[in-house]
Amino acid sequence: MVENRHQALGLSDETVLEMYETMLLARRLDERMWLLNRSGKVPFVISGQGQEGAQIGAAFALNREKDYILPYYRDMGVVLAFGMTAKELMLSAFAKAEDPNSGGKQMPSHFGQKKNRIVTGSSPVTTQVPHAVGIALAAKMEKKDFVSFVTFGEGSSNQGDFHEGANFAGVHKLPVIFMCENNKYAISVPVTKQLACERVSDRAIGYGMPGITVDGNDPLEVYRVVKEAHDRAIRGEGPTLIEAVTYRLTAHSSDDDDRAYRDQEEVMTAKEQDPLYTFGSYLKEVAVLTDEIEKSLNDKVMKLVNEATDYAENAPYAKPEDALKYVYKE
């Protein structure tokens, strides 16, 4: 029998099953979106496949009642954990009027939903980082006990916005967690051409905060380090930079063909570390996930995916004249 790692972290069997279920839902939704894209029904897909372990491990370590999150486009797992529903995500994929993220005004996966404290982001990468820092400064000034959690890719950690945001957060010891999902590529450009330091987390030293690299395919390890970062933030000890090392199992997006720049052997090898698969195996080994539970979770998730697809497909688009609204606060 393998060692029970989740109990040691204070995670109940129910909680780890919920984590697994959320990962499964993220994966199946994502897969469905690709099918819909390839059949011409949704315009664009940008995937979190392969990164769900990091996303779910992190999201479950946060306070999902209080914390503010500023996810990036691959974070379907994070936003599901923070209360966005499968139906809402499908509405976004179809760019329908009812999509709470932006009613089709932005590309899919530009997440934002005020009621769940999911702060809207936009297409230029890394712009969310200093926003997260501003939110954290507000928490500090107003002595509120929430943490601001922001994610981005390793390529994006080269933008000035990352460095400027991290620097301010370090100087002012703000309650913010920076989590880089290092999936080894920025579209076609490998991480070796993006940064000269060995790890993204090495960048933390320049901003006076701890930098931690963690196996992003292991949701429990990610949970552990994000929980520690959260505790530090709440204690007033300042920000943390976490690098979750993962892999992008799909092409960059539905518009990209990764065969032009990436060895498909490498992708096959990475699939052996697929967090959905490895976490599922762990849960079976510790006898939390039985065949019976697995089947019922699968059925439940597929039902959600199917219902979400049907609903979103039949939902109305925004009216063209709606495009003229909201430019100014009237």
Ligand X SMILES: Cc1ncc(C[n+]2csc(CCOP(=O)(O)OP(=O)(O)O)c2C)c(N)n1
Q: Is 32 a catalytic residue?
A: no
Q: Is 153 in the site for Mg ion (CB under 5 A)?
A: yes
- Given candidates 15, 85, 159, 278, which one binds other proteins under the rule CB under 8 A? 159
Nearest distance, CB of residue 318 and other proteins, angstroms:
6
Q: What is the DSSP letter of 193?
A: G
Q: Binding partner of residue 104 among other proteins, ligand X, Mg ion, none, CB under 5 to 8 Å per kind?
A: other proteins
Q: Is 177 in the site for Mg ion (CB under 5 A)?
A: no
Nearest distance, CB of residue 309 and Mg ion, angstroms:
28
Count Cβ atoms below 10 Å from residue 287 Cβ, excluding itself. 10
Question: With CB under 5 A as the contact rule, which of the stretches 30-38, 68-76, 175-183, 280-288 interacts with Mg ion?
Answer: 175-183
Mutual angle of helices 13-38 and 275-285, in 10-degree steps: 150
Q: Is 2 in the site for other proteins (CB under 8 A)?
A: no
Nearest distance, CB of residue 241 and ligand X, angstroms:
15
Q: Is 290 in the site for other proteins (CB under 8 A)?
A: no
Which one from 110, 131, 230, 248 is the annotated catalytic residue?
Answer: 248
Helix (H, G, I), strand (E, B) or coil at 251: coil
Sites of contact with ligand X (CB under 6 A)? 74, 123-125, 152-156, 181, 183, 185-187, 248
Q: Is 28 a catalytic residue?
A: no
Q: Is 194 in the site for other proteins (CB under 8 A)?
A: yes
Nearest distance, CB of residue 121 and other proteins, angstroms:
11
Q: Is 251 in the site for Mg ion (CB under 5 A)?
A: no
Q: Is 219 in the site for Mg ion (CB under 5 A)?
A: no
Helix (H, G, I), strand (E, B) or coil at 107: coil
What is the token pair recorded at 303?
Answer: 């039902």
- Given candidates 14, 320, 329, 330, which one binds other proteins under the rule CB under 8 A? 320
Ramachandran angles phi, psi of 243, nearest 5°:
-110, 115
Q: Binding partner of residue 311 among Mg ion, ligand X, other proteins, none, CB under 5 to 8 Å per kind?
A: none
Strand order in the sheet with 240-245: 68-70, 148-153, 176-182, 240-245, 211-215
Cα 195 off chain centre by: 22
Bridge partners for 42 per DSSP: none
Listed as own residue / partner, the contacts of 95-104 with beta carbons closer than 8 Å and 24 or more positions apart are: 95/42, 95/43, 95/317, 96/312, 96/315, 96/316, 96/317, 96/318, 97/315, 97/316, 97/317, 97/318, 97/319, 97/322, 98/315, 98/316, 103/318, 103/322, 104/317, 104/318
Exposed/middle/buried for residue 13 (C-beta within 10 Å: 0-12, 13-18, 19+): middle
Q: Is 282 a catalytic residue?
A: no
Nearest distance, CB of residue 245 and ligand X, angstroms:
12
Q: Is 266 in the site for other proteins (CB under 8 A)?
A: no
Q: Is 263 in the site for other proteins (CB under 8 A)?
A: no
- Given candidates 38, 66, 144, 193, which one binds other proteins under the rule CB under 8 A? 193
Measured distance CA(44)–CA(92) in Å, rounded: 10
Position of minimal CB gap to ligand X? 153
Q: Is 58 in the site for Mg ion (CB under 5 A)?
A: no
Which one from 172, 261, 277, 311 is the annotated catalytic residue?
Answer: 261
Q: Is 43 in the site for other proteins (CB under 8 A)?
A: yes
Closest CA to 160 of 134, 126, 112: 126
Asked if 166 contacts 196 with a C-beta cutoff of 8 angstroms, the reply is no
Closer of 11 and 58 to ligand X (Cβ) = 58
Residues at the site binding Mg ion, with contacts judged by CB under 5 A: 153-155, 183, 186
Catalytic residue set: 248, 252, 261
